[in-house]
Structure 1
């Protein structure tokens, strides 16, 4: 499989049997059979088309920030799009390839005195991942600003969807069902005073740093917010802060986070998640649904 891939893509930026723990924010995750970093949207199309023809499983990781890769790794082809970062600004429209970091995109908007992306200034994921999850914070979300998304379908065709077709909802987009790979995002922003934009971003950054455990590896916010409740408050009141399995711990700083305090495995993370869900369900009758994506194979 690997030799054949190289025959088709001799110029590809690729690694074989590469541990995904080197790329995930939790510092956990088993190996990818083929890990490739496409340099262009056309290369994404070609790889997807190849995988479809060869009937190989394939998957795209964003910035691997809101993600847990199981210890058994991922079979087939894994693409990381962090080399796709080309950006264009025209009037109040911002068009950026999906591998760009959302933090960098928010700063680019500020540089051009474009408002609307301030909420994203501290979200560590990629732009494509942010669209996939309809990422949001501090009263804003991607659904507020996205006007169109260009994506590659499961056969390698380049397609587009307007905002109305994206089925945005809380931490949801249509890509979670259709399997499309976001490659370029068109955003409609508004003119604003650059000083005001930067002031708001500084305020949100300070809020984030004061409340979240940014000094330790984590997968970000683990659970979706259940209706009528605050996740962190439920977990804290259940006495679960500091609960630890192996190297994974419910953060002492923010109970909605699980941090890697040293050599955690994905299995450690999943055990902590399952325990938190069970205790919160038993005590409060609330089902905590994971916001973090959990993918890959269990360790054999």
Structure 2
């Protein structure tokens, strides 16, 4: 670690907000991952600004020396952990509030389900698709999360971020360069603070029925009973990853305790004690065998963090 980092961290951040050698399996939906040197919870923009300025002074790099996570729902963390600082947001970043008749502000640490619930309670339609996506607004923006025909770029109006020098900047939806499971924020050295979401007036009963229907479909088709990172692969153009994996004879295929779900082949699940190496090898095996069978190269949607 950088010389002086420990002392400086404890100087600018409350002791209660810093954990040393924190097991990252506690912070990912895969329930996999070794320890981070430091796990820091930030509760205000002022704290985050001080932290980013410190990292800049110590010449620490985004993604390499420190990394920001939300619910850890799209992460595969190395068994060796992360040699650096993992930052997570809470406090004021969990804020969700109605701005006017059709706009909601959602902090980066707010869960997608909380935003969907507030929208429903105020008869606002357009965010139902995200109700069952197990992550935070920050992660959803970075990945342009979507499901059942909806995605973030359809509802986001403005995104507020903090740059590496601690300054705050706002981007429009168009400037965010949203694409299929990506955005400019995926590789930009900044931290998403929150977003303004634009919805439409609807019928509260219809909205609730849609949310319930989508959740029912998730429970029926997805392996929610096991830890996973959600859909493991991006949808190939004109096809479906799960279909190609099944056609390659890989339903139920296992490496250690990592398994291609028998319920939905597009998911890799942790059957109990899977390691990141198990999952990583399984992903590579699936890519190889699907390519041999169909000529299609599957791209992982899951982000690898740490040394593999």
For the aligned pair, the TM-score class normalised by the smaller chain equals over 0.9
Paired with 2:207 and 2:299, the residues of 1 have a C-alpha distance of: 33
Cα offsets for 1:6-27 (capped at 9, x unmatched): 1232456110110100111011
CA distance in 1, matches of 2:218, 2:242: 14
In structure 2, the partner of 1:116 is: 126
Counterparts of 1:76 and 1:50 in 2: how far apart (Å)? 14
SS in 2 for 1:271: helix
Cα distance in 2 for residues equivalent to 1:169 and 1:17? 35
For the Cα contact (< 8 Å) 1:213–1:253, is it kept in 2? yes
Q: Which moved more, 1:50-59 or 1:132-141?
A: 50-59
1:44: how far off?
Answer: 1.6
TM-superposed CA distance for 1:155, in Å, is: 2.1
Q: State the shift of 1:42 in Å.
A: 2.1
> Once superposed, which parts of structure 1, at least 4 consecutive aligned residues long, lie more than 3 Å away?
none
Deviations 1:223-246 (A, max 9, x none): 000011111000011110111111
Residue equivalent to 2:12: 8
Distance 1:82 1:133 in 2: 20
In 2, are the aligned partners of 1:223 and 1:288 still within 8 Å (CA)? Answer: yes
Once residues 109 and 221 of structure 1 are traced to their aligned partners in structure 2, the CA distance between those partners, rounded to angstroms, is 25
* Cross-structure match for 1:38: 42
**Whole-Å separation in 2 of the counterparts to 1:126 and 1:208:** 18
2:56 matched to 1:52?
yes
Alpha carbons 1:151, 1:160 under 8 Å: kept: yes
After TM superposition, give the deviation of residue 88 of structure 1 in Å.
2.0
Structure 1 residue 62 corresponds to structure 2 residue 66:
no
Task: Specify the alignment match of 1:29 in structure 2.
Answer: 33
Matches within 5 A, 1:244-263: 244-263=254-273
User: Is residue 110–residue 136 contact of structure 2 (8 Å, CA) maintained in 1?
Assistant: yes
- Normalised by the size of structure 2, how large is the TM-score? 0.94
**Alignment partner for residue 86 of structure 1, among 79, 88, 95?**
95
Specify which of 181, 195, 198 is matched with residue 191 of structure 2: 181
Contact 2:12 2:50 in 1 (8 A): no
Q: Assess if the C-alpha contact under 8 Å between 1:48 and 1:58 holds in 2.
A: no
Distance in 2 separating the partners of 1:150 and 1:42: 15
5+ residue gaps, structure 1: none
Alignment counterpart, residue 243 of structure 1, candidates 253, 256, 259? 253
Q: Which is worse superposed, 5-14 or 267-276?
A: 5-14
Unaligned runs of 5+ in 2: none
Alpha-carbon distance between aligned partners in 1 of 2:57 and 2:138, rounded to the nearest angstrom = 25
Q: Output the CA distance in 2 between the equivalents of 1:274 and 1:6.
A: 40
Does 2:286 align with 1:276?
Answer: yes
Structure 2 distance, partners of 1:204, 1:26, is 22
Distance across 2 between alignment mates of 1:38 and 1:4: 15
Aligned to 1:71: 79
SS in structure 1 of the partner of residue 109 of structure 2: coil
Q: For residues 253 and 119 of structure 2, what CA distance do their matches in structure 1 show?
A: 40
Mapping 1:124-203, distance limit 5 Å? 124-203=134-213
Say how many residue pairs are matched.
Answer: 298
> What is the root-mean-square deviation of aligned Cα atoms in Å?
1.2
